[in-house]
A and B are shown apart, each in its own frame.
Chain A
Amino acid sequence: MSFKNKGDRVGMSTCRYVGMSIIWGALLLASCRNDAEVFEPEAEQAGQPEKTENIVGFYLLNQGNMGSNKATLDYYDYSTATYKRNIYGEANPSVTKELGDVGNDLQTYGNRLYAVINCSNKVEVMDRQTARRIGQVDIPNCRYIQFDEGYAYVTSYAGPVQIDTEYKQLGYVAKVDTATLKVVATCLVGYQPDGIAIANGKIYVANSGGYMNPNYEKTVSVINLSTFTEEKRIEVAVNLGLLKLDSRGQLWVSSRGDYADIHARLHCIDLASETVTHTLDVSASNFDIVGDSLYFVGSQYDKNTNKSTTAYGIVNVAEHRVVSDNFITDGTEKSITMPYGIKVNPETHDILVSDAKNYVNPGTLYCFDKDGHQKWNVRTGDIPAEICFVTTDVNTGGGGGDDPTGQSPYISHVFDFMPAPGQFVNIMPLYEDGDDSETMRQKTENCIAGHNQEMISLGGWGGYVVFGFDHRIPNVPGDYDLKILGNAFYSTSEFPLYGSSEPGIVMVSIDSNGNGLPDDEWYELAGSEYHSSDTRHGYSCTYTRPATNTDVSWTDNQGGSGKVKHNTYHTQEYYPKWISADEITFNGSRLKDNGAKIGTTCVLYQYPWGYADNHPNNWDKSRFPDTTDENLIHVSEFKIDWAVGSDGNPVTLPGIDFVKVYTAVNQDNGTLGEVSTEIIDAWDLHMLDSDGNKR
């Protein structure tokens, strides 16, 4: 071999460089790793914009394959005909690992949206308008949800384990207080309970026994709502699935059969007699009842032909018979592989059918008009399953039942948190490296929303927080509508009362543009000092970030200046660290100073009424047992009647959606530091009484 010749050398080095260049060039062409971004929703036009009466859109919950963590939420807006895929991430960018694994049920109740996330063992509670997360209820292997009188009832497979000859595990229904999002009671039912419905003071639960093949369950459990115990069982058929009420006092239950010899069926139970009155030879994987029509989609696997057949039919619930065996009239059902979900728009009778395809890839949602012609279709997430309509009407629950009180009396959302410099700033809530306005807002929300009652401090004069509820607080003329809780207290003084009072001015706003954001006009709730000549309206104060960790200087628009003094008890920076600007200016009204020295002691006087963190949170009944003074009884409570416009004239608001509180006094009190309003909670007084008990 003549490997010494020149040609060979060239060949060798050419090979080397070509080889390396190909490899490394290709790797460079291939992309590097980026930070994973929160999912951006994908918007797509589907159909034409429609004028609707009450229904403005619908949510669709995609199950996602087990273990994929791909339960996602889509939203369709009728007014713009846009379908937005995967909106949860945008609405809740800070939620770790998003919505979760295997979404099983979706309902609205009051102003909330409830998604049952089966393999994440939780019910996700969101704001109905924005899909913003309010909280979650941990229920293992949860399946379906219904509501009644402020409680949610959720079926779960995960009851106590029985070690019999075989492993068995009963399921249960969890009763969840929608105000506290806590499970308050459980009631055992049959094996692997699925569908649930509530009527006539009873809960009906379809037991499947799905884990016990071939010993499937055959019964519907009947639970007495008031005692929350199982009363009886109604024998129906093997492997029950969904269960829904019609308007004629009948309960429709689907049975899935044993996937072999016993076929899937649809059964009708008469609620008066609690007996099965009709059984139809219909495979209803999913169904929806509107008026007298029960629309179903189904697919039936035949082990002899090894094929699945699909059905799209309508049952007349009054006549108990199939009146249409294919509501799709234009032949487009051929493109549907695996019909999975169905929902009928009760206003237009448009039929929404979802196709789960092969379970691992995105599905499709089809919309048919009432005559069965396809109007549009759109790509969904993986395994599109449950659909839930959203109505404009704020106080009416959607698919969740007819009780309107699925609302929380507590703060549901903090929109903005901007404290002025102060001794508790950067501590309450705690600033950590990397925090920004949004994370601080979230922390503030975690403190005061949902009855969490962790204190936040608004800092010196002007510092504010803006929060809202999951519903509009109505203005009931003459009544106290709102309560805001702080940390004020009385010392044992005579009148005028003093102790610790760090008053904050309360402003309110109504969402007149309907965008869910506090960008509408603000109205001050005029308290006892509003018309005082000592109150400086149109006041403005600018704070400057000190170069070192020391006092924070301020100047106002009336020639005044001063310092928020750094004290030895609180050694952190007083200027909000997440704010990049070196100056912050606040505008509003400044009340006269309420701090004074009695001897060597600094005290803070209470104003008569109308300010947050001014009086204690509760009527001091031990000190003023017989008082008739409303200001001592309805401490920290507010009337929307007090609202005034910027011109000082009273305005009548039908209700409020947003509340802003800001520190009203600009005074340093020596060892007590600056006056700074503190907030821990706020309530809708039409849902709770002054002591926080449910009305």
Chain B
Amino acid sequence: MELRRTYISVMLCGSLTTAAQSQEVADSIVLEDIAVWGSSNRHEIVPSQQLSGKQLETLSNLSVADAVRYFSGVQMKDYGGVGGLKTVDVRSMGTNHLGVFYDGVQLDNAQNGQVDLGKFSMDDVESISLYNGQKSDILQSAKDFAASGSIYIRTRRPRFTGGKRTNILGSLKVGSFGVVSPYVRWEQKWSDRISSALSAEYLNANGRYKFRYRKVLKNGETAWDTTAVRENGDVKSFRAEGGLFGRLDEGHWNAKLYYYDSNKGIPGAIVNNVWKNSQRQWDRNFFVQGNLKKVWGRYELMVNGKYAIDYLHYLNPDTTSLYIDNEFTQNEAYLSVANHYAVTDNWDVAVSADYQYNTLSADLTDFVYPKRHTLMYVAATTCEFWRIRVMGSLLGTYVSERGKDLNEFSPALFLSFYPLKCKDFCVRAFYKKAFRMPTFNDLYYTDIGNIRLEPEYARQYNVGLYYNHNWQRGFFRSLETKVDGYFNKIDNKIVAIPKGSGQYRWMMMNIGEVRIKGVDVSVKTGMQAWKDWTLNLTLNYTYQKAQDYTDPNDPTTYRGQIAYIPWHSGSAIANLGWKSWTLNYSFIYVGERYHTSANIPANYEQPWYTHDLSLSKDFTLRRTLLSVTFECNNVLNQQYEVITNYPMPGRNWRCIVKVKI
């Protein structure tokens, strides 16, 4: 019933308003930015899905993970709460095949291959983009060619308007789960060529929320109904970022420092007789990274470098189970050089090479202290002729680790075709073969690890349509539609399987195979009803059939839909603006799923869908901009789970005040 109401109201919104509108404010900011830095965006063959600007701001996001949910083809594993682990899986290929880039440089986790997007706050973020296959820019580091799907998080860059030399931004978030989060940012323009930004954020939350479990009898009567409070979900975190931004003749550079420190409880699974857990985790992440880009005529150079230290401390103080107190430290050094040469106006070639060094140390018994050297090199070319644009790349990866070498080649081919004279409509396709390395945990974790593991491969075939148009007047001002059909195959999938001796023990093996057929649809429209009224609608829908082909002898799992992947999922965002008021409505739907590939009733997971609302108002007091936002998330107070036995919060509230001087 809820769903039906939503459907009708959205249809009404869509058809009752009659005027069109100009392109989103947000887009212009991004465009301006691109213009400033001269990025060769025109070379991108497959467009990304992007959230930015006002739309991103008014979505009820506490972390990057919350925003990424709105992209089509994305499934998020969310263990609930402010501090809960949130990892993302694109097109059912598995978290490890996804690259997450922070200001152009990949965030890596050689230990377990997963980036917890819940850790990344939205405060400094300007845009988030998702690329399937790879970002098809010509000038990019070899790593940009490596992953099977990538998320680019781009932080705010200082902008100074009207002769200002200093910007001060501050915000305070207060809300459910005991969230109190102050944030401050200082931007300074030192000269026409150099500016800086310094920001800091603190988050404190007790993480408590009520959740309810209920089951009914066949006749609909309540069998049991229990409400409890989620415990041990508290978080204290501090984040600081500093950046220097420089402009060169025909180029630019920046340097960035990042520090994150958190202390949080791990709320854990809720099972019979256990309503509270006591595990804790401490994270400390530090990195420094730099980027330089310069053009000499037809030649363009980009250099990226990074050094990162990640510290993780995990404690299970629970004396009723195995006591664990482990510390892990990862080090990473990274250097990338990318070169682009425009041979003709329609033909570009590029060569990039990246080197990365990873280590992991841990206080585990018999730990091997792995070290990994990775060298990646890529040759890529794009050309444009008639109505066709093509990009081909071949990435070579050389990994050396504990005396073992590995050489892999990953080809990719991207193609777009404009059947119409105007470039509004486009047909595109890509093929890519990529792989992911076994993580240090897969290989070396005491007892579980298996040093014989090989890489896990992902092949992607994608065909899609793209339509984009803007109008200067009328009701509709913009329309962007994407439809993609794809087939992915994961071979040599690394899965945990039982290990002998009848005990509950595991080891990692390359035995899995998954085939995914899917369709992603996304529609974005901008409308202007009359004068000051604007309405933006974004709709996403994903259908996925992700089947487990691992064991032909097991009829219960063979060709079953893999764990936690819904057949149907989708999202809708409606953004209504009137003068300085913005009302945002967002909706997420995740259809029925099973929590293992045995698609039997005992493994069934209910669909879930949440409605979020936010209302914000901007004020201008002299030169100070003030905005106040009220959010109500999960308005209908649905009691749901993304991961079984990890209850999600019901209705919750937040108030955000932002100041810009």
Interchain Cβ contacts under 8 Å between A and B, 9 examples: A16-B525, A19-B481, A38-B216, A66-B504, A69-B272, A101-B274, A161-B319, A256-B503, A285-B503
7 A-B pairs besides A26-B543, A27-B7, A36-B606 with CB distance below 8 A are A19-B523, A20-B539, A26-B568, A97-B271, A121-B320, A158-B321, A283-B500
What separation, in Å, do the CA atoms of A358 and B570 have in the docked complex? 32
Verify if A335 is at the interface (C-beta below 8 Å from B).
yes
What separation, in Å, do the CA atoms of A15 and B480 have in the docked complex? 10
Q: Is the CB of B273 within 8 A of A301?
A: no
Verify if A517 is at the interface (C-beta below 8 Å from B).
no
- Beta-carbon contacts under 8 Å, A339-354 to B: 339-340
**How many B residues, CB 8 Å from partner?**
94
Verify if A98 is at the interface (C-beta below 8 Å from B).
yes
- Beta-carbon contacts under 8 Å, B222-265 to A: 222-224, 226
Q: Is the CB of A31 within 8 A of B592?
A: yes
**What chain B residues lie within 8 Å of A38 (beta carbons)?**
215-218, 223
Q: Is the CB of B598 within 8 A of A361?
A: yes
Q: Is the CB of B271 within 8 A of A309?
A: no
**What chain A residues lie within 8 Å of B268 (beta carbons)?**
67
Shortest distance from the beta carbon of A1 to any chain B beta carbon, whole Å: 4
Q: Is the CB of A360 within 8 A of B596?
A: yes
Q: Is the CB of B501 within 8 A of A30?
A: no
Q: Is the CB of B602 within 8 A of A381?
A: yes
**What chain A residues lie within 8 Å of B607 (beta carbons)?**
30-33
Q: Is the CB of A33 within 8 A of B215?
A: no
Closest to A210 in B: B503
Q: A32-B3, A259-B505 are in contact. Are A27 and B570 (CB under 8 A)?
A: yes
What separation, in Å, do the CA atoms of A63 and B504 have in the docked complex? 10
Contacting A42 at CB < 8 Å: which of B270, B365, B500, B601? Answer: B601
Q: Is the CB of B504 within 8 A of A359?
A: yes
Closest to B274 in A: A120
What separation, in Å, do the CA atoms of A121 and B275 have in the docked complex? 12
Verify if B344 is at the interface (C-beta below 8 Å from A).
no
Q: Is the CB of B273 within 8 A of A379?
A: no
Verify if A264 is at the interface (C-beta below 8 Å from B).
yes
**What chain A residues lie within 8 Å of B525 (beta carbons)?**
16
Verify if A169 is at the interface (C-beta below 8 Å from B).
yes
**What chain B residues lie within 8 Å of A70 (beta carbons)?**
602
Q: Is the CB of B218 within 8 A of A40?
A: yes
Contacting A169 at CB < 8 Å: which of B319, B540, B554, B595? Answer: B319
Q: A38-B217, A70-B602 are in contact. Are A96 and B226 (CB under 8 A)?
A: yes
Interface string of A37-53 (1 = CB under 8 A from B): 11110100000000000
Q: Is the CB of A39 within 8 A of B365?
A: no
Shortest distance from the beta carbon of A114 to any chain B beta carbon, whole Å: 15
Shortest distance from the beta carbon of B238 to any chain A beta carbon, whole Å: 30
Interface string of A5-26 (1 = CB under 8 A from B): 0001001100110011011101
Q: Is the CB of A15 within 8 A of B272?
A: no
What separation, in Å, do the CA atoms of A129 and B358 have in the docked complex? 60
Contacting A359 at CB < 8 Å: which of B322, B500, B506, B640? Answer: B506
A-B complex: 9 closest residue pairs judged by Cβ atoms: A285-B502, A301-B500, A140-B320, A100-B272, A30-B568, A308-B500, A101-B271, A299-B500, A69-B271
Name the residue among A141, A169, A338, A360 with the largest chain B CB count within 10 angstroms. A360
Q: Is the CB of A30 within 8 A of B271?
A: no
Verify if B47 is at the interface (C-beta below 8 Å from A).
no
Verify if A95 is at the interface (C-beta below 8 Å from B).
yes
Q: Is the CB of B502 within 8 A of A37?
A: no
**What chain B residues lie within 8 Å of A298 (beta carbons)?**
500-502
What separation, in Å, do the CA atoms of A28 and B3 have in the docked complex? 7
Closest to A286 in B: B502
Shortest distance from the beta carbon of A436 to any chain B beta carbon, whole Å: 6
Q: Is the CB of B498 within 8 A of A30?
A: no
Verify if A72 is at the interface (C-beta below 8 Å from B).
yes
**What chain A residues lie within 8 Å of B346 (beta carbons)?**
none
Verify if A567 is at the interface (C-beta below 8 Å from B).
no
**What chain A residues lie within 8 Å of B481 (beta carbons)?**
15, 19
Shortest distance from the beta carbon of A399 to any chain B beta carbon, whole Å: 19
What separation, in Å, do the CA atoms of A96 and B7 have in the docked complex? 35
Verify if A119 is at the interface (C-beta below 8 Å from B).
yes
Verify if A138 is at the interface (C-beta below 8 Å from B).
yes
Q: Is the CB of B471 within 8 A of A3?
A: yes
Shortest distance from the beta carbon of B553 to any chain A beta carbon, whole Å: 7
Verify if B14 is at the interface (C-beta below 8 Å from A).
yes
Q: A15-B479, A36-B606, A70-B602 are in contact. Are A119 and B321 (CB under 8 A)?
A: yes
Verify if B16 is at the interface (C-beta below 8 Å from A).
no
Verify if A279 is at the interface (C-beta below 8 Å from B).
no
- Beta-carbon contacts under 8 Å, B191-205 to A: none
Q: Is the CB of A306 within 8 A of B450?
A: yes
Chain B at the A interface: mostly helix, strand, loop or mixed? loop
**What chain A residues lie within 8 Å of B325 (beta carbons)?**
167
Closest to B595 in A: A68
Q: Is the CB of B422 within 8 A of A167?
A: no
Verify if A94 is at the interface (C-beta below 8 Å from B).
yes
Q: Which residues of A contact B (CB under 8 A)?
A: 1-3, 8, 11-12, 15-16, 19-20, 22-24, 26-40, 42, 63, 66-70, 72, 85-86, 93-101, 117, 119-122, 136, 138, 140-141, 157-158, 161, 167, 169, 210-211, 213-214, 241, 256-257, 259, 264, 283, 285-286, 297-302, 306, 308-310, 335, 338-340, 356-362, 379, 381, 383, 434, 436, 438
Shortest distance from the beta carbon of A243 to any chain B beta carbon, whole Å: 14
Q: Is the CB of A358 within 8 A of B497?
A: yes
Q: A30-B567, A30-B568 are in contact. Are A169 and B497 (CB under 8 A)?
A: no
- Beta-carbon contacts under 8 Å, B626-659 to A: 638, 640, 644-645
Q: A23-B523, A68-B645, A213-B447 are in contact. Are A141 and B7 (CB under 8 A)?
A: no
Verify if B177 is at the interface (C-beta below 8 Å from A).
no
**What chain B residues lie within 8 Å of A340 (beta carbons)?**
502
What separation, in Å, do the CA atoms of A264 and B501 have in the docked complex? 7
Closest to A23 in B: B541
What separation, in Å, do the CA atoms of A31 and B598 have in the docked complex? 20
Q: Is the CB of B523 within 8 A of A20?
A: yes
Verify if B31 is at the interface (C-beta below 8 Å from A).
no
Closest to B277 in A: A67
Verify if B620 is at the interface (C-beta below 8 Å from A).
no
Name the residue among A16, A26, A339 with the largest chain B CB count within 10 angstroms. A26
Contacting A100 at CB < 8 Å: which of B273, B499, B567, B570? Answer: B273
Q: A158-B319, A214-B365 are in contact. Are A67 and B214 (CB under 8 A)?
A: no
Shortest distance from the beta carbon of B268 to any chain A beta carbon, whole Å: 8
**What chain B residues lie within 8 Å of A167 (beta carbons)?**
323, 325
What separation, in Å, do the CA atoms of A95 and B645 have in the docked complex? 16
Verify if B576 is at the interface (C-beta below 8 Å from A).
no
Q: Is the CB of A101 within 8 A of B469?
A: no
**What chain A residues lie within 8 Å of B575 (beta carbons)?**
none
Verify if B220 is at the interface (C-beta below 8 Å from A).
yes
Shortest distance from the beta carbon of B529 to any chain A beta carbon, whole Å: 15
Contacting B501 at CB < 8 Å: which of A16, A138, A256, A383? Answer: A256
Q: Is the CB of A213 within 8 A of B523?
A: no
Q: Is the CB of A436 within 8 A of B221?
A: yes
Q: A24-B10, A69-B269, A101-B272 are in contact. Are A16 and B554 (CB under 8 A)?
A: no
**What chain A residues lie within 8 Å of B269 (beta carbons)?**
67-69, 101
- Beta-carbon contacts under 8 Å, B518-548 to A: 521, 523, 525, 539-541, 543
Shortest distance from the beta carbon of A542 to any chain B beta carbon, whole Å: 27
Q: Is the CB of B11 within 8 A of A97?
A: no
Closest to A1 in B: B422
Closest to B1 in A: A32
Verify if B589 is at the interface (C-beta below 8 Å from A).
yes
What separation, in Å, do the CA atoms of A12 and B424 have in the docked complex? 11
**What chain A residues lie within 8 Å of B271 (beta carbons)?**
67-69, 97, 100-101, 119-120
Closest to B644 in A: A68
What separation, in Å, do the CA atoms of A340 and B469 have in the docked complex? 62
Verify if B397 is at the interface (C-beta below 8 Å from A).
no
**What chain A residues lie within 8 Å of B622 (beta carbons)?**
none
What separation, in Å, do the CA atoms of A119 and B320 have in the docked complex? 9
Q: Is the CB of A24 within 8 A of B11?
A: yes
Contacting B273 at CB < 8 Å: which of A23, A138, A358? Answer: A138
